[in-house]
Amino acid sequence: MTDQKQLTREEQIAKKREFARKTLENRVFQDIVGSGQVMAHQAEYGSRAVTAAKPAYDGAILSDEAREVRDRLYKEKREEGEKRGIYARPSIDDYAVEKDIRDQVDENKLLLPLKDLAEIVRGIDSDLKAIPKELEAYVPAELARKIAVAHAKNPEGREEEIFRAALNEEEQIAFGLYQRLSGAYDAVNAYRISGQGALAGVNGFIDQISEKYKKPEKTK
């Protein structure tokens, strides 16, 4: 009976991870994240990038995938209004659609092992370096949960103090890698649209932490 329950839990985890991967690999979602980044930080990316990002954003926000998000949000708001006796019909603008997609992307980044998240980033930009095998199985959501528990125990504590209390040294490195991979996902989508490179920061961090896991060369 215990094995049956464990198998069911494993299947649920596998299903969530499969959905998370599909979400992060969805090209329309990638286009909205990337073009949205460029349009929101125009001075950083430059006029040529903005010129490329604007039609990409317009196309993505009018796509079937974005329409499905818009329809779902409308239905949710409509049902909420009807329960409260509100007569007016809700209006779902592009901001609400983009925010919902960004929230979905950010939530699903947390659900995948670092190996999978790195593979997705590498699928967008093949220049991403290999992460240490010792860190591949860490799941950011599990680390974030530990941090949340430590914060609940010490709500007045400093952020760094809570972080170190919650996670051991390797877990801290793994969470730092997650943060950089998460940022790299956004950046590679922005630079994919603008035709520039984006991985110097995360690759530098991977080089740094990979030194820790290098096995000493055998002497002949």
Residues 97-108: tens digit of each pLDDT: 999 999 999 999
217 located within any domain: no
218 located within any domain: no
220 located within any domain: no
6/215: higher pLDDT: 215
Stretch 111-129: mean pLDDT, rounded?
Answer: 94
159 located within any domain: yes
Using the CB atoms, write b or e for 149-181: b if 16+ within 10 Å.
Answer: ebbeeeeeeeeeebbeebbeeebebbbbbbebb
Q: Which domain holds residue 50?
A: 2-87+95-212
**What pLDDT sits at residue 147?**
95
**SS3 category, 171:** helix
Q: What is the pTM of this model?
A: 0.83
219 located within any domain: no
> In sequence order, what E strands does the chain have?
none
192 located within any domain: yes
Band of the pLDDT at 8, cuts 50, 70, 90?
confident
Q: Is the pLDDT of residue 218 over 90?
A: no
Residues 137-176: tens digit of each pLDDT: 999 999 999 999 999 998 888 999 999 999 999 999 999 9
156/4: higher pLDDT: 156
Out of 17-26, 42-51, 180-189, 194-203, pick the least confident.
194-203
Average pLDDT, the chain: 90
Band of the pLDDT at 126, cuts 50, 70, 90?
confident
73/212: higher pLDDT: 73
195 located within any domain: yes
* Nearest residue to 186 (alpha-carbon basis) of 19, 38, 26: 38
**What pLDDT sits at residue 138?**
97
Q: Is the pLDDT of residue 1 over 50?
A: no
115 located within any domain: yes
Query: Domains in the chain: how many in total?
Result: 1
Residues 10-52: tens digit of each pLDDT: 889 999 999 999 999 999 999 999 999 999 999 988 898 899 9
Residue 150 CA to residue 166 CA, distance in Å, equals: 5
Distance of CA 39 to the CA centre of its chain: 19
